[in-house]
Amino acid sequence: MPGFLKMRSKLFKLASAVSLVLCLGFFALLVRSWFVEEHLAQATNSGPAWVVRSFHGRITFEHRSFWDAQGGFTWGRRRVGFHENPALALYQSPTRDYGLFDVGFFSGTAYTWPGHLYPTVARLPATTDPRYWRDNYSAMLIPDLLPMVVFAIVPLIYLRRRLGKAFPNAGDSRRGTLTILAGISLLLLLCLTDLWLRSYTCGDIWLRVGDGHASEFAVYRNQVHLSHGAYHPSAFRNETGGVWRHVPFSAAGSGSGSGPWPPPANFVERAGFAYQTSHPWFSRFLHISLPLWPLWLLCTVLPIRWLLVKRRLRRRYIRRLRGQCQSCGYDLTDNTSGVCPECGAACKAADPAGVSPAAGN
């Protein structure tokens, strides 16, 4: 039985190390994907292909009916701009929107005009032209954060066990609650970072129009926009029937005012805060803009607090092993008074065997 427990401990350490390497690998892929779009493909010439693609913090698993690149097992990459959204060209006419965090299945048809075969055609015809190359695709889309968080679970469990052995009070309910809340805050921090990066390449609007009123929730260029108002009859031609619909749009552009909202006019608006009560399309209108960075800073409070608490516990633990006062670090060798002469903290008196005392609670 002891041999089995020892083997299980070694296997758990190995699994933690492998999971940590994979977690760091997906983190590196997440950072790289904002600058390079790359894919692995197993395909036949002008035939079907299975593709794994990475771009802008997303991983896609695709099946395409037409592959115009080299056949066989290939790896390709190209540099993309930070404001460029490759999904608009890769996935034309999808059956569903990609959504905020891009999780789910979708399909569609992509059209490619073979210009090298028809050099005399000056203007692209409609996509109903049979000369187009048609690519029927189906894809599953997930964010890089998902596998990164999954592979981080085992190393965190291992770290928790190691901390439990190092800190005698690691099982305290208050510290356990702090650990859980810090983990949740760290996860929210990663999601906000991903959302912040996405907001500069693809804007997301959730729109509800009906019964003379329009409501909007949007994320665009590091801002969250909330709008509601009573619109004029000629303002909206297509109503959503009173239900919320997701309407993505390109957030490309270098200016701060590019997109559907006006540019900032003062320091407060440049920080991301804005308030508007009038609009030519609405008789009554309210628009509020809030930046993402205050939420990002708020989510860093608990992880930083957790690190400070663990650092303090680690320092007290090391001082206790060295026979020092846990409060001030004074050497308590041969101290029999039960009180630290430096700071006055209570400590255990040295026993006859010569064991150095340590500070009490």
Interval 321-350: pLDDT, tens? 888 888 888 887 777 777 888 787 777 655
Query: Given pLDDT bands bounded at 50, 70 and 90, which one contains residue 28?
Result: confident
pLDDT(211) > 50:
yes
pTM summary value: 0.58
217 vs 230: CA distance, rounded Å: 16
pLDDT at residue 216 tops 70: yes
Ranges 16-25, 164-173, 203-212, 342-351: which has the least confidence: 164-173
In a 3-state reduction of DSSP, which class is residue 55?
A: strand
Q: What is the mean pLDDT of residues 220-241?
A: 74
% residues pLDDT > 70 (the chain): 80
pLDDT at 256: 36
For residue 254, name the pLDDT band (cuts at 50, 70, 90): very low
For the chain, helix, strand, coil in percent to 5 are: 30, 30, 40
What is the mean predicted confidence (pLDDT) over 256-262?
46
Tell me the residue length of the chain: 361
Mean pLDDT for the chain? Answer: 77
pLDDT-based confidence at residue 18 (cuts at 50, 70, 90): very high
Predicted local confidence at residue 360, as pLDDT: 46
pLDDT, position 272: 78
10 Å CB burial of residue 305 (0-12, 13-18, 19+) is middle
- Side-chain half-sphere CA neighbours of 61 within 13 A: 7
Whether pLDDT at 269 is above 80: no
The pLDDT, as a whole number, for residue 255 is 36
Give tens-digit pLDDT for 139-178: 888 888 888 888 888 888 887 777 666 555 544 556 667 8
Average pLDDT over residues 266-287: 79
Q: What is the pLDDT of residue 359?
A: 45
262 pLDDT exceeds 70? no
Does residue 39 carry a pLDDT above 60? yes
For the stretch 210-214, contacts whose Cβ atoms lie closer than 8 Å and that sit 24 or more positions apart, written own/partner, are 210/239, 210/240, 210/241, 210/242, 210/243, 211/242, 214/282
Q: How confident is the model at residue 259 (pLDDT cuts 50, 70, 90)?
A: very low
Q: What is the pLDDT of residues 86-139, one digit of tens each?
A: 777 778 777 765 555 567 788 888 888 887 778 787 777 887 788 888 888 888
Asked if 69 and 53 count as a contact pair (C-beta separation under 8 A), the reply is no
Share of the chain above pLDDT 90, in %: 4
